[in-house]
Amino acid sequence: MDAIKAPNSVEGPHAQHGDLSVVRGAAPRANHVVEGPHAQHGDLSVVRGAAPRANHVVEGPHAQHGDPGVVRGAAPRARMSASLQALTSAALAIPGMAQAADIETDYLYSRYEEGDLPAADSASGRASERYSIDSHLFRVAGVVGAGNVAADLTVESMSGASPWWVQPGADGRPVQVMSGASIEEERVDLQLSYAQPVGVIDAVAKLGYSDEDDYQAANVGFEAQYTPPGAPYTLSAGIGYSDDRIEPTEGGSAQYPDRIRSADKNTWTSYAGASWILGPQTVVQGVFGYTRHDGYLTDPYKRAYFVASAGTVPESRPDGRQIWTLSGRLRHYLPALSAALHLDYRFFRDDWKIESHTLELAWQQRIGEAWLLSPSVRWYSQSQAFFYAPYYADFRDDGFASSDYRLSPFGAVSARLDLKRSIARHWTVGAGIEVYEASGDYAIRSVDVENPGLVDYTSLQLRVGYRFE
Amino acid sequence: MKRVAAVMAGAALCLLVGCSAQPVQPWQRGDLARPEMAFEPDPLVASYRRHVQFSKEAASGGTTLGGGGCGCN
Amino acid sequence: MRSRGAWLGALLLPVTALALDVGDTVPDLAAQDQSGHIQRLQDGRSRVLYVDFWASWCAPCMQALPALQQLHARWRAAPSATPFEVLTVNVDTRRQDARRVIDRLGLELPVIFDPDGLWAERFALPAMPSGYLIGPDGRVRHVQVGYQADAFPELERAIASLLEEDS
pLDDT tens for A272-315 read: 999 999 999 999 999 999 999 999 999 999 999 999 999 999 99
Do residues A115 and A73 touch, judged by C-beta distance below 8 A? no
Q: What average pLDDT does range A17-42 have in this prediction? A: 29
Q: C118 pLDDT band (50/70/90 cuts)?
A: very high
Q: C17 pLDDT band (50/70/90 cuts)?
A: low
Asked if residue A5 has pLDDT above 90, the reply is: no
Instruction: Pick A232's closest partner by Cβ from C11, C149, C167.
Output: C11
Instruction: Pick B59's closest partner by Cβ from A110, A335, A348.
Output: A348
User: DSSP string covering B26-63, please?
Assistant: GGG-TTTTSGGGSSSS-HHHHHHHHHHHHHHSS---SS
Three-state DSSP at A441 gives helix
Q: How many Å apart are CA A366 and CA A458, to the nearest integer? A: 25
Asked if residue A60 has pLDDT above 80, the reply is: no
Residue A231 and residue C12: Cβ atoms within 8 Å?
yes
pLDDT of residue A346: 98
Residue C77 and residue A7: Cβ atoms within 8 Å?
yes
Most confident of A19-33, A73-87, A94-108, A240-254: A240-254
Instruction: Pick A406's closest partner by Cβ from B44, B58, B67.
Output: B58
Is the minimum CB–CB distance between B11 and chain A shorter than 8 Å? no
Q: What average pLDDT does range A183-188 have in this prediction? A: 90
Q: A7 pLDDT band (50/70/90 cuts)?
A: very low
- Could you tell me how many CB contacts below 8 A there are between chain B and chain C? 43
Give the residue with greater pLDDT, A18 vs C52: C52
- Residues of chain B predicted below pLDDT 50: none
**What is the sign, positive or negative, of the torsion defined by CA atoms of B19, B20, B22, B28?**
negative
Q: How many Å apart are CA A64 and CA A177, to the nearest integer? A: 60
Complex prediction ipTM? 0.80
Residues of chain A found within 8 Å of residue C121, distances taken between Cβ atoms: none
Asked if residue C64 has pLDDT above 70, the reply is: yes
Give Cα separations from A163 to A298, A379, B51 (angstroms): 14, 24, 19
Q: What average pLDDT does range C126-136 have in this prediction? A: 92
- DSSP annotation of A97: S
pLDDT of residue B9: 60
Most confident of A47-51, A259-263, C80-84: A259-263
- DSSP annotation of A128: B
Give the residue with greater pLDDT, A53 vs A151: A151
Give the residue with greater pLDDT, A31 vs A394: A394
pLDDT of residue B20: 52
pLDDT of residue C77: 80
Instruction: Pick B19's closest partner by Cβ from A91, A189, A278.
Output: A278
pLDDT tens per residue, range A69-113? 222 222 222 333 333 233 333 333 443 434 455 799 999 999 999
pLDDT of residue B64: 86
Give Cα separations from A352 to A237, A251, A297, A320, A438 (angstroms): 25, 27, 12, 9, 21
Chains that touch B (3 or more CB pairs under 8 A): A, C
pLDDT of residue A199: 86
Do residues A276 and A243 touch, judged by C-beta distance below 8 A? no
pLDDT of residue C165: 78
Is the minimum CB–CB distance between B6 and chain A shorter than 8 Å? no
pLDDT of residue A277: 94
pLDDT tens per residue, range A138-181? 999 998 877 889 999 999 999 999 999 999 998 889 999 998 76
Those residues with Cβ within 8 angstroms of residue B18's Cβ, 6 or more apart along the chain or in another chain: A279, A281, A282
Residues of chain C found within 8 Å of residue B33, distances taken between Cβ atoms: 57-58
Do residues A350 and B62 touch, judged by C-beta distance below 8 A? no
Q: List the domain boundaries for chain C.
A: 21-166
| Chain A contacts in chain B segment 31-50 (CB below 8 A) | 31-45, 47-49
Q: Which of A102, A64, A58 is nearest to A81 (CA)?
A: A64
pLDDT of residue A170: 86
Do residues B19 and A279 touch, judged by C-beta distance below 8 A? yes
Residue A335 and residue B31: Cβ atoms within 8 Å?
yes
| Residue ranges of domains in chain A, CATH in brackets | 103-468 (2.40.160.40)
Do residues A450 and A434 touch, judged by C-beta distance below 8 A? no
Q: What is the 3-state secondary structure (H, E, C) of A261-292?
A: CCEEEEEEEEEEEEEEEEECCEEEEEEEEEEE
Alpha-carbon gap: C167 to the closest alpha carbon of chain A (Å): 9
- DSSP annotation of A79: P
**CA A47 from chain center: how many Å?**
44
Domain C21-166 has CATH 3.40.30.10: yes
**Residue-averaged pLDDT of chain A:** 81
Q: What average pLDDT does range A172-193 have in this prediction? A: 90
Q: Which of B45, B55, B72 to mutate to test binding with chain A, by most A CBs within 10 Å of its CB?
A: B45
Most confident of A43-52, A207-216, C42-51, C76-85: A207-216
pLDDT of residue A79: 31
Is the minimum CB–CB distance between B10 and chain A shorter than 8 Å? no
Q: What average pLDDT does range C125-136 have in this prediction? A: 92
What percent of chain A is predicted at pLDDT more than 90?
70
Give the residue with greater pLDDT, A367 vs A70: A367
